[in-house]
Structure 1
Amino acid sequence: MTTRSTSTGELIRLMRAAGFTGIDESRVLAEDWQVTDFAEAGRRSLANLVQSVGAPAVMVSFLDSDVGFVEALTPDGNGWEGLLNRETAKSYEIPLERFPVESAVAGAIAWSVVAGLTPDEEAVRQALTGSALFAEELSSALLVALGLPDAA
């Protein structure tokens, strides 16, 4: 989970209220952005959190470190979804057509701009189409490509 928040304690409290469980401590990035690990999220957890925080957020859920499911929202309700490690996702029989790359790239760029960041479109596309041993590597690359400060 990556979002802006005024304090780590406040973000963790809001995440719990939004339906996230197994929350670890946040890592603070520049410009009040925070990265927080969690075990599980409910169906509307991201939407609830974005509404509570009043800031854009991006969430990546991992399947055995092999595949990453990306979901991002802005406070005005605009969002996008993407898939990390598409080749590996095939072995899990995940329907790739549910995660069109160009739609995800366009959504990611729009999300990033609304979040006040400077995205790198080609790097976003690479993260969403690339392969890695662990999907977490692609997640880190995606955060950097979205323009999140100090995400590397």
Structure 2
Amino acid sequence: MGNSGGSLTARSTGGLHQLMRAAGFTGIDDNKALAEGWQVTDFADAGQHSLAYLVRHTGAPAVLMSFHDSDVGFVEALTPDGTSWEGLLNRETAESYDIPLDHFPVEPAVAGALAWSAAAGLTPDEQAIRQTLTASALFAEELSAALLAALGLPGTAQPPQARVRPST
């Protein structure tokens, strides 16, 4: 059985775990530092408004990825000015779970990701974002890592392309 929790990527100068707990996150793991104050933290579960609470209290943008058994990833991103977007990772596998793909259209997700990255002061790669949102991988977490790199998050590296393949 795979991961059914999630990961939060946020910029914070400290006290992120305390803010995450106050926002309704549970099962919080250690932070992995990226660069320029960005951190990735795995968690077991999050509340419906956890991302909004966290962004409001940190005053910084964040990306939340929720995983369904490591097969599918649901992406939510938000900035303090309200720029937000949603996406789906591993669409082909999501379809086998009867997840309605029309609820997660690719082009609005790409446009939202580009706007979110710009609002977060990052330099995104539009082609890599689109590829990640349409690609397939054995584990959704592989696509998650590729998406963070495509969004321009400092300290992330694009995973090997051999593991992340375009969807057919």
Pair in the same fold by TM > 0.5: yes
How far apart, CA to CA, are the structure 2 residues paired with 1:30 and 1:11?
15
Structure 1 residue 60: deviation in Å? 0.4
- Aligned counterpart in structure 2 of residue 18 of structure 1, from 16, 23, 43: 23
Q: TM-score, normalised by structure 2?
A: 0.88
Q: Which runs of 4+ in 1 moved over 4 A?
A: none
**1:6 — aligned with what?**
13
Which runs of 5 or more residues in structure 1 are unaligned? Answer: none
- Aligned counterpart in structure 1 of residue 38 of structure 2, from 25, 29, 33: 33
How far apart, CA to CA, are the structure 2 residues paired with 1:145 and 1:76?
21
Structure 1 residue 78: deviation in Å? 2.0
How far apart, CA to CA, are the structure 1 residues paired with 2:122 and 2:13?
18
The structure in which a higher percent of residues are helix is 1
1:38-77 CA-to-partner distances (Å, cap 9, x unmatched) read 0000000000000010000000000000000000001012
2:112 is matched by which residue type in structure 1?
G
Q: TM-score, normalised by structure 1?
A: 0.97
- Aligned counterpart in structure 2 of residue 135 of structure 1, from 137, 140, 144: 140
State the identity as a percent: 74
Which runs of 5 or more residues in structure 2 are unaligned? Answer: 1-7, 158-168
Tell me the C-alpha RMSD between the 2 structures: 0.5
After superposition, residues 57-76 of structure 1 pair within 5 angstroms as 57-76=62-81
Tell me if structure 1 keeps the 8 A contact 2:124–2:150.
Answer: yes
Q: What is the number of residues matched between the two proteins?
A: 150
**1:117 — aligned with what?**
122
